[in-house]
Amino acid sequence: MRILVIEDEPGIANFIKQGLEEESFAVDIANDGTMGIETALTGEYDLILLDWMLPGISGIEVCHQYRKVNTDTPIIFLTAKDTVQDTIFGLQSGANDYIKKPFAFDELLERIRVQLRPKSGEHETFTLGNIELNTRTHQIFKNDEEIFLTQKEFALFEFLLRNKGKVCRRTQIIESVWDIHFEYNTGVIDVYINALRNKLDMKESGPHIKTIRGVGYIAKDL
């Protein structure tokens, strides 16, 4: 799950980035409206957090522009203003929700989840055989026994499960999970796949992550 934060104050931007990364979202920051709209349009994000007050192009303007091209990706406004007027205006411009600064991080998280839930059309848990992944609580159970994964392990596994049955190409994985876009000559994926297979105890029979040589991996039941 990739999130773009369009916010000029580095302090706030980094605070949000860190918090979201702890929840294993992949977060990019754009620090002004121009960069923001450009990045939003090039990259593929699942959600956009948009500051109301931006130097140069305003948040509303960014939202307007973006909505001309993309009407699916949810946008949540971050705003210091708090009049009802502004709120209505913001939502009319195409945003899906808004949150007033200062805000409790958990509240932000909650609103993000609300926006992401209906979009994926999925539940908040995914399963692979007897393994269950809960995106909400960030836990993994195998036969009701909890298994602890690190951030990256979890993010990779979640990506595979969200695409269960479909082939996940190495390029897709390195982009979605590691956020690396150009030059890519690393063996990280192999290492983490290996870790997953070990921790989740995926031998021959039973659910497994199959490798498609020269292409990538695929998670399959049975």
Partner DNA sequence: CTCTTTCTTAAGATTTGCTTAAAATGGAAT
Partner DNA sequence: ATTCCATTTTAAGCAAATCTTAAGAAAGAG
Residues that bind a second copy (CB under 8 A): 11-12, 14-15, 18-19, 21-23, 38, 42-44, 82, 99-100, 102-107, 137-139, 148, 150-151, 166-167, 169-172, 175, 181-185, 212-216
Which of 65, 62, 38 minimizes the C-alpha distance to 52?
62
List of residues contacting DNA (CB under 7 A): 18, 148, 150-153, 170, 178, 186-188, 190-194, 197, 211-216
Measured from the CB atom, the residue of 100 and 117 that comes closer to a second copy is 100
Which entry of a second copy, DNA, none binds 92, CB below 5 to 8 A by partner kind?
A: none
- The distance of closest approach from Cβ of residue 216 to DNA in the complex, given in angstroms and rounded to an integer, is 7
Enumerate helices (H) and strands (E) in the chain, giving the number of each. 8, 12
Which entry of a second copy, DNA, none binds 221, CB below 5 to 8 A by partner kind?
A: none
The widest CA-to-CA distance across the chain, in whole angstroms, is 60
The Cα angle at residue 58 between residues 32 and 52, in degrees rounded to 5? 90
Q: 184: part of which helix (H) or strand (E)? A: none
CB-CB contact of 55 with 61 (8 Å): no
Q: How far apart are CA 33 and CA 166, in angstroms?
A: 36
Measured from the CB atom, the residue of 67 and 169 that comes closer to a second copy is 169
- The distance of closest approach from Cβ of residue 69 to a second copy in the complex, given in angstroms and rounded to an integer, is 12
Measured from the CB atom, the residue of 148 and 182 that comes closer to DNA is 148
Measured from the CB atom, the residue of 62 and 196 that comes closer to DNA is 196
Measured from the CB atom, the residue of 72 and 106 that comes closer to DNA is 106
Which entry of a second copy, DNA, none binds 64, CB below 5 to 8 A by partner kind?
A: none
Give DSSP secondary structure letters for 67-130: HHH-SSS-EEEEES---HHHHHHHHHTT-SEEEESS--HHHHHHHHHHHHHHHHTS-SEEEETT
- The distance of closest approach from Cβ of residue 145 to a second copy in the complex, given in angstroms and rounded to an integer, is 13
Q: Per the structure block, which two tokens stand in for 186?
A: 């690393």
